[in-house]
C-alpha cells in the first residue's frame, strides 16, 4: 500500500499495460513516473476529469514533474506526465 505524503491518497498498485505505457512515457520514463507518484507531496483533482488526479512531484533525481493518473479500483493508472517548468 502506498500513501502519498500527508494527502490521504492511498493505493495498492500502479497499473501499466501497452496502451498507457506507450502514451504516458512520451516525455518521462516509466521509472520517473513511478518515482513521482511515490514521492508526491501534493496532488489535486483534475478539473475536467473527476476520476483523474494531478501529482506535482519530484523524481529521485530531483526533476520536478507533473503526472496525471486515473484512479482505478485499488490503484492508479498513469495517463501522461511531463517535466514541470517552475
The confidence score (pLDDT) of residue 40 equals: 86
State yes or no: pLDDT of 86 exceeds 70.
no
| Extended beta strands in the chain, E state | 2-3, 10-11, 13-14, 42-45, 52-58, 64-72, 75-83
Query: What is the average pLDDT across 74-84?
Result: 93
Mean of the per-residue pLDDT values for the chain? 86
The answer to whether 43 and 52 have CB atoms below 8 angstroms apart is: no
pTM of the model: 0.83
20-50 pLDDT, tens digit each: 999 999 999 999 999 999 998 888 877 777 7
Query: What is the average pLDDT across 40-63?
Result: 85
Amino acid at each position: 500500500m502506498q500513501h502519498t505524503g500527508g494527502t490521504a491518497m492511498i493505493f495498492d498498485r500502479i497499473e501499466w499495460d501497452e496502451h498507457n505505457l506507450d502514451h504516458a512515457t512520451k516525455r518521462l520514463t516509466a521509472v520517473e513516473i513511478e518515482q513521482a507518484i511515490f514521492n508526491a507531496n501534493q496532488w489535486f483533482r483534475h478539473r475536467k476529469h473527476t476520476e483523474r488526479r494531478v501529482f506535482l512531484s519530484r523524481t529521485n533525481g530531483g526533476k520536478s514533474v507533473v503526472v496525471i493518473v486515473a484512479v482505478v479500483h485499488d490503484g492508479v493508472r498513469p495517463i501522461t506526465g511531463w517535466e514541470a517548468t517552475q
